[in-house]
Chains A and B, each alone.
Chain A
Amino acid sequence: MIVSEQKPWEEILGGLDGDNSIFILGCNGCAEASGTGGPVQVKEMKSKLEAAGKKITGTMVIDFLCEKALVKSRLRPKTKDVEAADSILVMTCGIGVQAVSAAVNKVCHPACNTISLGGSRGEWKGKERCLECGDCLLDYTGGICPLTACTKGLINGACGGASNGKCELAPEKDCGWELIYERLKGLNQLDKLSRFIAPKDYSKMMPDVKTMATSLWALEQTS
């Protein structure tokens, strides 16, 4: 289970700035359970975005967005609607956004922040990784998480230590920032790299007091 919360409305709308047609993707897995990206929230988001002047080319709720093969096969009948959109708003956790970004050749905007459960996992296994940082940056990085794809977790660009596209730590590991560069280049979004990303609020990576006060959490700790 991965818990997410919706980003503030202004941030969601800001991310979609310049995009007129949007395809909305929700997730029947953890995002539905979190109340952030299930069928109800996708419907609500469609109305809100239409009221804000956006054209919604289509919506779909898939279980689970973290599984790329499933995303591809379920979206196939909706190819036209997806292609008609300027971008996709993905209403799920950081792994789902990264999986959709990898599976679909479209700009994907995260609608949610993934909340820390203090390391609890259980998602479908893919190569996408989410640190539950609580302040999703995937909008700036082509749907590839710099915190997990870059060995140093740098968020303002590459360190200069890569050789032939590989990380200085290990020759078998791709430089995360070169992957981000290539993805953004393919999406014609390289200008996103010029943006200064302010220091992160790493306190959000600690599970919050509210989470730790739930009965589920208490059960986990005592069992």
Chain B
Amino acid sequence: MSLQPLLEAGKFVVTAEVGPLKGTDTTEINEIAELLRGRVDAANVTDQQSSVMRLGSLATCHLLKEKGLDPVFQLTCRDRNRLALQSDLLSAHVLGIENVLAITGDLPALGDHPEAKPVYDLDSVQLLWVIKRLNEGYDMNGNELQGKPNFFPGAVVNPGADTEAAFELQLIKMEKKIEAGARFFQTQAVYDIDTFARFMKRVEGFNIPVLAGIIPLKSAGMARYMNKKVAGVFVPDELINKMAEAEDKAKTGIEIAANIIKELRDICHGVHIMAIGWEKKVPEVLDAAGL
């Protein structure tokens, strides 16, 4: 079953992130696809994440689809104007891709081509609206399409935004995204269950599935780095200490991730595992979480 019917049936859904590499070697993607098939309900493919130039999300989604996975096509507004966004969406449908995650995209200045001209012709809310228009059989300027797609659009939200303004802005934008057509949300990484539970309480009335982000910790240093550098991520000291003291870091990181997943089962509608290089360990995380 694909992502949409599973979410609509109220199943606790598991998605995992696949990050294409820089280059044309798809060996690892194929290996990861084999490991994930049957274990996750859908697999997101990142769109040149962190503004680092890599193999594209559209082609990689197609490879995953051929391997029997249900891909989630991550599409950012960073590199494409409205022509390219709409055209890539039509291409995605033709390749059998059903799920799209509409994202603003990191600034090019933070990646490996900082000289690039950022596009941001549309923002994520407008992109969701465009997807809705395409689904209705029209391009964004109202011209009729010959053959229309049938996308299941999703969006992202940062439940750990730190200031009052940032947090309220996230909620306001989340509502705008829902109005523009978002049918599910995937979040920034969650480590602090209480903060996330408060967020879920606030969005209860939105009646929309939320998949909590999970990033398995690899080391205490990684946790400290994310606390300092990644907006909305807060790893509590208790978990950092556990990682610092652990002899088998991988085992402990997987255990912590599994425990968070267990606690989230009653709070939200699924989890989205972003393994960042540890994709092959996702089945272990799921085993430990009893999924």
* A interface list, Cβ under 8 A from B: 151-165, 168-169, 175, 177-178, 181-182, 185, 190, 193-194, 196-199, 202
Contacts and interface: CB of A to CB of B under 8 A. Distances in A.
Interface SS of chain A: loop
Given A157-B169, A160-B232, 4 more contacts: A160-B104, A160-B156, A160-B170, A175-B166
A138 to B, nearest CB: 17
Contact of B165 (A153, A160, A169, A182): A182
A158 B175 contact: no
A201 to B, nearest CB: 11
A181 B107 contact: no
Contacts of A163: 162, 231-232
Contacts of B218: none
B104 A165 contact: no
Interface residues of B, number: 37
Interface of B: 82, 104, 106-107, 109-110, 118, 120-126, 129-130, 140, 156-158, 161-163, 165-166, 168-170, 172-173, 175-176, 179-180, 188, 231-232
Nearest to B160: A160
Contacts of B161: 160, 162
A120 B256 CA distance: 57
B140 A168 contact: no
A151 B107 contact: yes
B231 A165 contact: no
Given A156-B125, A163-B231, A181 B179 contact: no
5 contacts: A156-B125, A156-B176, A160-B157, A193-B169, A199-B130
Contacts of B165: 165, 175, 177-178, 181-182, 185
Given A164-B163, A169-B107, A196-B129, A158 B180 contact: no
Contacts of A194: 172, 175-176
